[in-house]
Amino acid sequence: MLNFGVNKMYNGIKSIDHPVVAVSDMEASRKVYEKLGFLVPPRGSHVEWGTGNWCIMFEDDYLELRGILDPERYTINLDSVLEQFGEGLMGVAFGTDSAEENHNEMVKNGLNPKELKYLGRNFELPEGWVQPRFALCFPNDEDITGLMHVVLCQHLTPELIRKPEYLIHPNRVVGVDSMWGVIEDIDQVESAQQRLLGKEAVQRVGEGLLLTTPSDQTIHLLSKDEYEKRFGDLSKPAPNGEKTYLGAITLKVDDLTKTKQCLENNNIPFEHSDDEIQVAADFTCGVVMTFIES
């Protein structure tokens, strides 16, 4: 379960609902993540867009692998993201209880969010497709600097996608702890994130920023030097010379020893210490993946 801390909700944002990973080949990405020890539920395909996803579910959040199914339709700019950045993190969906109230609060706080959208996706179950629905609020780009792409997501039919059997993973992952990225202009990013998350949620730490949601999940935005010091050769080279991007996630597990055994059994290379295991971006569709015991 998520632990909600002292930070109050601002603009209706309560948690990291799901990091979004851009993948160039849907079927190949499923195999990669199954080898990493995740149970991957059936595929989803967006009704209004030409994209699809694998949503790897945990109790309170999930990990989305998003790919293109029909390049002739709108892809939410996924095609340009893959061309510019390659595979890897492309943004974050924050959790909210009401996308409509969230939108109204943003306007009240001086932001200019885009028009509220109600979307669905086909969940391609073997026994018959169902259609989960979502209400989405998209902030404007100038108010999300440092996070690549942001949406606030209200699940209207959570019971359709979060089934108990989808929550049990051989690698023992139980949830999303944090995300990590690189920024260049700390002042610009700090200003944008204070508008988005509230001043109390944004803290300067060294040459970077620590963003904390009310759920106590965090996003660490570091200078290039600090990021390379933290992840070294585990990370992929900066895509096309980009100076601001997301690159790593930390996932919580309930038994780190069993996580290690799962990776060993599946021949996944990793680095480890007493309190964490790290898998390089080469083996995760472009994301440095850290496992810690919750």
Q: pLDDT tens digits, residue range 41-88?
A: 999 998 889 999 999 999 999 999 999 999 999 998 999 999 999 999
Banded model confidence at residue 239, pLDDT cuts 50, 70, 90:
confident
Which pLDDT score, from 0 to 100, does residue 3 have? 63
Share of the chain above pLDDT 90, in %: 85
Answer whether residue 6 shows pLDDT above 90: no
CATH 3.10.180.10 domain extents, the chain: 15-166, 173-293
For residue 8, name the pLDDT band (cuts at 50, 70, 90).
confident
> What is the DSSP code string of the chain?
-----SPPPBTTB-EEEEEEEE-S-HHHHHHHHHHTT---PPPEEESSSSEEEEEEE-SS-EEEEEEES-TTS--TTHHHHHHHH-SEEEEEEEE-S-HHHHHHHHHHTT--PPPPEEEEEEE--TT--B--EEEEE---GGGSTTSSSEEEEEES-GGGT--GGGS--TT-EEEEEEEEEE-S-HHHHHHHHHHHH-GGGEEEETTEEEEE-TTS-EEEEE-HHHHHHHHGGGSPPPGGG-SSEEEEEEEEES-HHHHHHHHHHTT---EE-SSEEEE-GGGTTS-EEEEEE-
In words, the CATH class of domain 15-166 is alpha beta
Class of domain 173-293: alpha beta
| pLDDT of 124 strictly over 90 | no
* Mean pLDDT of the region 124-142: 89
Average pLDDT, rounded, for the chain: 94
pLDDT at 1: 61
Distances (CA, A) of 24 to 39, 55, 76: 20, 16, 14
The reported pLDDT for the residue numbered 240 is 80
Q: Is the pLDDT of residue 271 over 90?
A: yes
Is the pLDDT assigned to residue 26 strictly greater than 90? Answer: yes
